[in-house]
Structure formats: C-alpha cells, structure tokens
Amino acid sequence: MFAARGVSKRFGAVRALDAVDLDLSAGEVVALVGDNGAGKSTLIKVISGAVTADEGQLERDGVPVQINNPHQARSLGISTVYQDLALCENLNVIGNLFLGSERRRWSLLRKIEMERSARTLLSSLDVRIQDIAVPVAMLSGGQRQSVAIARALVGEPWLVILDEPTAALGVEQTAQVLDLIRRLRDRGLAVLVISHNLADVRAVSDRTVVLRLGRNAGEFRTAETSPEAIVAAITGAAA
Amino acid sequence: MTTLTKAIRWPGRTTDGPARPGGVGSWPVVGGLVVIAIVFGSLNEQFLSAENLSNLALQLAATGTISLGIIMVLLLGEIDLSAGSVSGLCAAVLAIVHVRHGQSALLAVVVALALGAVIGLVHGLMFTQLRMPSFVVTLAGLIGWQGLLLYVLGRGGTINLPFDGAIAKLSDTWLPPWASWLIVVLIVGAVATSAVLNRRWRRRADLPLPALSRTVLRVAGLAVLLGAAVLVLSADRGVPLLLVIFGTLVVALDLVLRNTVFGQWIYAIGGNAEAARRAGIPVTRLRIVAFVLASTLAAFGGLLAASRLAAVNQSSGGSDTLLMAIAAAVIGGVSLFGGRGRPYAALLGILVIQSITNGMLLLNVDSSIRFMVTAVVLAAAVAIDSLSRRGSEQ
C-alpha cells in the first residue's frame, strides 16, 4: 500500500537515515521502535512531509509520490498526531476536531453540523467524553490524546502516524488509547506507531520494525516474537 | 447597558464558543458592580439618579471602544500599548481635516479611521515580519504617535470642534423613548428567535437540547435588564446615541468572534499559535488583521472622546486612557494569556472603572484614592484570572 524505499537523510555530518525501507498496509498496525537517535522521528517526518529525504522514494500502491511539505502529505491521506498533540486548550472538543478545517457556509461556522459530525466520529471510535462543549484543558490526558487522534481522522486519511501516543499516560488511559488504535485498524486504516514502551508495542501492533543508528535492524511479526529478540535488535546485541 | 445580560449568561456554559476553562466567568464582575452600586448609592444619593447614570453611560463609550480594540490583541496573547496615543492622534487628524481644512465631517471620520487602520497595519507588520515583540512595537507606538500628535497640533495645541457640527452632535443626541423601546423589542425578539431556531435545528440534528428553563430565563433576564436601562435613561434625557454605538460595536464583535471562521481562528491562535499554524490557519495574516482592528477601534474611540469634549488637545488619548482601557478588558474577564474572554468584557470592565471614577468624583474623593481603588480592583481581577487558570490545569 505505502512504502518507503532506500530513504536516506543527512543532517550535516550525521546520517540520520541510511537506506531505510518501510512497508505499511491497510488494516495493520506497525510499531516503529528503536533507541534514541535511531532515526524514528526523522523517518516519520519524511513521511509526514516535515523534512524531505536526500535519497530514496515514497510509493503509494507502487506509484512514486512526492511529499515535500505537510500539506502534500495531508492531501495524500497521511495524517500525523504529534507527541505534543497540538491542541488548543482553550477551545472545546468540537473546535479542536475541526481546527483549520471548520465546516462553514461562506465564513459562518456551521456549528450544528460540526457538533453532529463530532459526536458521530467520537462515538464511532468509542471515545467517551461527557461534555464535548468544555475546553480541552478540562479533559484528562487520555481524553486529550483521543481527541488528537480523532482529529487526525477528520480528513478521512488512510494512514495515521502516531508519535509516542502513550507517553505520559497512566495505566487506564494507556489502555483507552491502545483500544482506540485497535479501532483505527478495524476501520481499515494503516497505522504507524512510534513507541518506547515495548509492552504497548506488544499489546497493539501486528508488526514491529526496528531501527538502529539510522538503518533497518529487523522486522518481526509482533505476536510471534519474544520481547528479548526485539530488545536485542534495538540494542544491537547478538540475539 | 444594553448588553449586560448577554454577558451574564457567560458562566452558564453554552455549547458554542470558547468558554473560560474552569474559570469563574463574569460573576465576580457583576457582583463587583452590585457592590459598587450599593456602596456609592448609600454614600451619595446622586449616584443612582437618572442624570448621573446617563452621564455614566456617556462616559463609557470612548474608553470602552478603545478597550474593545485592545481585546482583539489580548485574545491573541499580545498587547497593544499604543491605543491611547493612536486614539489621540486620529482624533487630531479628524479635527484638522474637518476644522482647519473645512472638509465634511464624514470625510474627516473616514480619514481618521483609515489612519488608524494604517497605523495598525504598521504595528502588525513590525510584529509579524520583523518579529519584534508586540510589547515593544506598541511601546514605540505609544511614544511615537503621541509625539506625532503634538507635532500635528502645532503650537496652538487645541482644536475646537463646532458645537453644532455633526461630530459634536454625536455625543449630544438622545434617543426618544419610542426608538429606545423599539430597539429593546428588536434585540429581545432577535435573541428569542435565535434561541427558538437553535432549539429547532438541534432537535432536527438529534443533538441534546439546552434546558428550556435556562433559555427562557436568559431571554426574560435580558428583557428586564434592557427595559430597566431604558426606563432609567429615559427618565433623564433618553438613551444616549453614544451608548447605542458602543453597544452595537460590542454585540457585533461578539457575534463575529463566536460565529465566524475568523473568530474561531483568533481564539485558536490565542490558545496555541503553533497548533493553529500546523492546522493550516494563516496565523500571520490574522495577527495583522487583529492589530489593524485594534488601532481602528482606538481611532474610533478617539473620535468619540473628541465628540464628547468637542475639542482635541495635547492630552487627547493621553494620561490614563490606555491604562483604563487595558484594565477594563482585564477586569471584564479577558485573559492576558490569550484565547479567553469575550468582547462583553469591555462593557463590563469599563462599567466597573467608570462607576468607581464617577462615584469617587461625586464624593469629592481625591484622585490619589481613586487610582489606588482602581488598582486594587485590577489586581483582584487578574488574581482571579490567574487562579482560575491554575485551577483548570490538572
């Protein structure tokens, strides 16, 4: 479905990515893991258009595509949820879901239509927020993460990239967010999750891709692989 | 006073528009107004007289309008320190075009407002393109435009506006009772109609409805408050046109901010500019527009002040105009941190400040005391804002 082939990126003398390959397909959750500086962030920035690769190409259904900026990525159906969530804490849930893509007639907000879509979207994801008219600042961390993920779906993407979605969340909220990621998969979306937390990776991903020092360092079917093997790939220790 | 009740419904969160997260809304301000009314009313029987309340209504408009402009930039989390100087300068230009060059009042007003817009554009460009902090840009404006005001006024220093001219008439026009009541009926009718339509549309869209009792209470409260204001003001000279103009500006700005994409984006930028930028919102353009609006409203406020004084002089827009305008916005509940507050804050805040000023003048209290009391009110308002903000951060 979507593939990165031989992607390389240099920052000055540092080779952040060195001929990295990545395949993503619909209805599959892929976890991207690796130590700090392994190139995970650079790779998702390449896919989401925040940086452009020096070499290599991106393919959609076997056809090469150009992604030079975030806007192009979005119009190709690639949606990214950054670690800092990028929510406006003073706006309510509806305002955040439609931030920048407000439904409007001329310049007037179509509030009722937005509220209805927001409720439909949130309930289809089984996200429970008591009052969607309260500012996002009043929500819990897990709810905010859910709102950020739900927002990524407003543009009807087919690939959603999640950067550390469970960092800084408690046990119960982590479970909520992992459930939400499974529902994204069940909707037939391709999902790419960056995580440091191997327990979460095991819980939610179908496939685990390991990067180490900017190179592919292994690819596993998560369910059939022991955590030790993944750790070994991450650290580079002989398994 | 035309729009007081609309602000009162603020704490009862509606499902639209940004509310103050965890905030206490405008209840403290309304409570403060009641306390002010009781205290000054009992100390001086003049305070609550129809004549004095009419004067109060007249005094609100100029600084209130400037405050309205300041709210535009405060919502972005920025500040405009130049509003006072800009109001004075634009009023001076108005007087020069109208009196010295003998042009029509209308042309003079257009020129003054256009000058305000251009000044705002300059501020906005310096802020967004040269990346200067808004504090510094407008501090330079505060000093520079004041200097230009003194320069254009020249040695004379004062330009009188003709007492029977259109501009002076602006602050000496009083609505006859029938017109005032018609406006009240129209406003209450519009609010009631929009409430009914909103309920119908929400029911059709299968969305939860707001409590009927609350809606009825809100409309009834609005009717009572507007009616009381008209009764009191009509007992004297009538509802001043100046108050109607100011009220219209407040209501119009609030409707725009709550119901248009533009308004939503202003709040978004004030809440998280980086998130807004990533969401594709034209942050730079909106910031410039906000500064243009701020200076244009300052120019309009200067025009209203000139109309009331029937003159422009070297202290126009000077002394405490700017500080009172900022204080009014903050007391009314606009957050200095950006993204929170509504235009009604200008009305409520200036009502508090002018009531204190007016009451103390009636009691012959020295302005030293007046400043200190205003300072306490301002500090209390900001403390409430900060505390409610901290309370909402879990």
CB pair distance less than 8 Å for A104 and B15: no
Chain A residues whose CB is inside 8 A of the B21 CB are 89-90, 134-135, 137-138
Smallest CA–CA separation between B197 and chain A, in Å?
12
Smallest CA–CA separation between B216 and chain A, in Å?
21
Is some CB atom of chain A closer than 8 A to the CB atom of B279? yes
Inter-chain contacts counted by CB atoms under 8 A, chains A and B: 103
Burial class (CB in 10 A: 0-12, 13-18, 19+), B238: middle
- Sign of the CA dihedral running A10, A15, A19, A25: negative
Predicted local distance difference test score (pLDDT) of residue B21: 39
CB pair distance less than 8 Å for B205 and A115: yes
Other Cβ atoms closer than 10 A to B271: 29
Burial class (CB in 10 A: 0-12, 13-18, 19+), B17: buried
Distance CA B165, CA B161 (A): 7
Question: How open is the CA angle B294-B296-B302, to the nearest 5 degrees?
Answer: 105
Chain B residues whose CB is inside 8 A of the A154 CB are none
Count CA atoms within 13 Å of residue B181 on its CB side.
5
Distance CA A215, CA A207 (A): 17
Q: Regarding beta strands A104-105 and B158-160, do their DSSP bridges make them parallel or antiparallel, or are they unpaired?
A: unpaired
Distance CA B334, CA B332 (A): 6
How far apart, in Å, are the Cα atoms of B255 and each of A17, A116, B198, B228, B260?
51, 22, 15, 24, 8
Predicted local distance difference test score (pLDDT) of residue A173: 84
Chain A residues whose CB is inside 8 A of the B275 CB are 85-88, 99
Closest chain B residue to the Cα of A110, Cα to Cα: B259
The reply to whether CATH 3.20.20.150 applies to domain A2-88+157-235 is: no
In contact, A18 and A214? CB cutoff 8 Å: yes
Is some CB atom of chain A closer than 8 A to the CB atom of B210? no
Please report, as a single letter, which amino acid is at residue A230. I
Chain B residues whose CB is inside 8 A of the A87 CB are 272, 275
Q: Which of B334, B21, B314, B382 is nearest to A87 (CA)?
A: B21
- pLDDT in 10s for each residue of chain B, 394 residues: 333 333 333 333 333 333 433 445 677 788 888 888 999 899 988 888 888 988 898 889 999 999 999 999 999 999 999 999 999 999 999 999 998 888 889 999 999 999 999 999 999 999 999 999 999 999 999 999 999 999 998 877 889 988 888 888 888 889 999 999 999 999 999 999 999 999 999 999 888 888 888 889 989 999 999 999 999 898 888 899 999 999 999 999 999 999 999 999 999 999 999 889 888 889 999 999 999 999 999 999 999 999 999 999 888 888 788 988 999 998 888 988 888 899 999 999 999 999 988 888 888 888 888 888 888 888 887 787 777 666 554 3
Q: Which domains does chain B have, with CATH numbers?
A: 4-176+238-389 (1.10.3470)
CB pair distance less than 8 Å for B280 and A71: yes
Q: Any idea where the domains of chain A sit in the sequence? A: 2-88+157-235
Find the CB nearest A133 among B13, B262, B339.
B13
Find the CB nearest B339 among A70, A90, A140.
A90
Which pLDDT tens digit goes with each residue over B200-259? 999 998 888 888 888 899 899 999 999 999 998 988 888 999 999 999 999 999 999 999
Which residues, 6+ apart, have CB-to-CB distance to A23 below 8 Å?
A1, A2, A3
Find the CB nearest A135 among B18, B201, B259.
B18
CB pair distance less than 8 Å for B272 and A89: yes
Which residues, 6+ apart, have CB-to-CB distance to A5 below 8 Å?
A21, A56, A57, A58, A59
- pLDDT in 10s for each residue of chain A, 239 residues: 788 899 999 988 888 898 999 999 999 999 999 888 888 888 998 998 888 888 888 998 888 998 888 888 888 899 888 888 789 999 999 999 999 888 888 889 999 999 999 998 888 888 888 888 889 988 888 888 889 888 888 888 989 999 988 887 888 888 888 988 998 899 899 999 998 888 888 889 999 999 988 888 888 888 888 888 888 888 887 64
Distance CA B264, CA B30 (A): 26
**pTM of the shown model:** 0.86
Is some CB atom of chain A closer than 8 A to the CB atom of B14? yes
Is some CB atom of chain A closer than 8 A to the CB atom of B164? no
Smallest CA–CA separation between A84 and chain B, in Å?
9
Smallest CA–CA separation between A194 and chain B, in Å?
20
Chain B residues whose CB is inside 8 A of the A69 CB are none
Q: Which of A193, A204, A181 is nearest to A126 (CA)?
A: A181
Chain A residues whose CB is inside 8 A of the B259 CB are 108-109, 111
CB pair distance less than 8 Å for B21 and A135: yes
Is some CB atom of chain A closer than 8 A to the CB atom of B208? no
Find the CB nearest A90 among B16, B270, B281.
B270
Chain B residues whose CB is inside 8 A of the A88 CB are 267-268, 271-272, 275-276, 339
CB pair distance less than 8 Å for A88 and B272: yes
Is some CB atom of chain A closer than 8 A to the CB atom of B394? yes
Closest chain B residue to the Cα of A94, Cα to Cα: B16
Which residues, 6+ apart, have CB-to-CB distance to B239 below 8 Å?
B57, B174, B175, B179, B180, B183, B229, B230, B233
Smallest CA–CA separation between A70 and chain B, in Å?
8
Predicted local distance difference test score (pLDDT) of residue B16: 39
Please report, as a single letter, which amino acid is at residue A216. N
Find the CB nearest B279 among A100, A108, A137.
A100
Which residues, 6+ apart, have CB-to-CB distance to B241 below 8 Å?
B170, B171, B173, B174, B175
CB pair distance less than 8 Å for B278 and A86: yes
Smallest CA–CA separation between A206 and chain B, in Å?
30
Is some CB atom of chain A closer than 8 A to the CB atom of B159? no
Chain A residues whose CB is inside 8 A of the B270 CB are 90
Which residues, 6+ apart, have CB-to-CB distance to B100 below 8 Å?
B159
Find the CB nearest B262 among A107, A133, A138.
A107
Is some CB atom of chain A closer than 8 A to the CB atom of B366? no
Predicted local distance difference test score (pLDDT) of residue B392: 53
Smallest CA–CA separation between B52 and chain A, in Å?
39
Bridge partners, A109 (sequence order)? A104
Please report, as a single letter, which amino acid is at residue B328. A
